[in-house]
């Protein structure tokens, strides 16, 4: 089998997942986008959290051209990516009780804000506790996860629950358990992950919905422009100054 055929199979798999998410999650996408718009209009702040590779989709929303300037990354030290040594430490930290609450309690997040929690499996202590603690503080929570994990894997949180159990809105990425779309007789392990592609697209659709809802209400969405287009930096500077009290990655 040629490499190009495998490449085509991966694109087909990713496109199929995107179509499923578009069609099956439309109501949840609308609800999540509306919830974000409500938070922006009501003076709340926006946060996104994901551990390990799930953090990629969270970071894709922060300080990003075409995205809402109010989206802040909620970072857990050692769990933001694969930059820790050894990389397996990040995975281990996802299973530690108490870490999420400690991070949330020391963050600017408060009642009336909104937190997006991204976890493919939704089974580890860190994302489950993050969602639970956020709701206890009065935040609204949007969870992005693959719901099938909850039916075929055991929770690693002491409550026995999953991320999906502690959210105001759940966005199901439909990713199969194991996060690998392709297999081949000559290769002993499945390969080619699609979760980042699908989760990022899902969240960008939510942000597009939020911008549209705000516009329909006569509110200009606080969007960022690319700093690599003429006038982009000046535009962003204006947005930062106007909304500076709700943006924590910028200091004016």
pLDDT above 80 (res 81) = no
| pLDDT score recorded for residue 3 | 63
| pLDDT score recorded for residue 52 | 85
**Is 195 within 8 Å of 179 (Cβ atoms)?**
yes
**Is 180 within 8 Å of 193 (Cβ atoms)?**
yes
- Segment 58-70 mean pLDDT: 96
How sure is the predictor about 90, in pLDDT bands with cuts at 50, 70 and 90?
confident
- Segment 105-123 mean pLDDT: 95
- Segment 88-93 mean pLDDT: 80
**Is 127 within 8 Å of 93 (Cβ atoms)?**
no
What pTM was estimated for this model as a whole? 0.94
The secondary structure of residue 71, as a DSSP letter, is E
208-237 per-position pLDDT tens digit: 999 999 999 999 999 999 999 999 999 999
């Amino acid at each position: 089998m040629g490499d190009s055929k495998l490449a085509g199979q991966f694109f087909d798999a990713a496109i199929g997942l995107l179509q499923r998410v578009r069609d099956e999650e439309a109501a949840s996408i609308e609800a999540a986008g509306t919830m974000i718009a409500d938070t922006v209009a009501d003076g709340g702040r926006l946060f996104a959290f994901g551990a390990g590779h799930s953090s990629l989709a969270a970071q894709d929303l922060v300080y990003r051209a075409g995205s809402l300037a109010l989206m802040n990354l909620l970072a857990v030290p050692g769990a933001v990516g694969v930059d820790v040594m050894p990389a397996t430490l990040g995975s281990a930290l996802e299973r530690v009780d108490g870490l999420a609450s400690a991070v949330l309690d020391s963050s600017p997040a408060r009642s009336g804000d909104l937190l997006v929690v991204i976890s493919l499996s939704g089974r580890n202590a860190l994302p489950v506790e993050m969602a639970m603690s956020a709701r206890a503080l009065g935040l609204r929570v949007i969870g992005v996860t693959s719901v099938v994990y909850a039916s075929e894997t055991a929770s690693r949180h002491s409550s026995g629950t999953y991320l999906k159990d502690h959210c105001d809105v759940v966005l199901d990425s439909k990713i199969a358990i194991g996060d690998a779309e392709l297999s081949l007789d000559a290769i002993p392990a499945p390969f080619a992950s699609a979760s980042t592609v699908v989760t990022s697209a899902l969240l960008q659709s939510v942000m597009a919905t939020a911008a549209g809802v705000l516009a329909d209400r006569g509110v200009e969405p606080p969007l960022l422009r690319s700093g690599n287009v003429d006038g982009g930096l000046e535009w962003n500077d204006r947005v930062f100054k106007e909304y500076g009290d709700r943006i924590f990655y910028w200091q004016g």
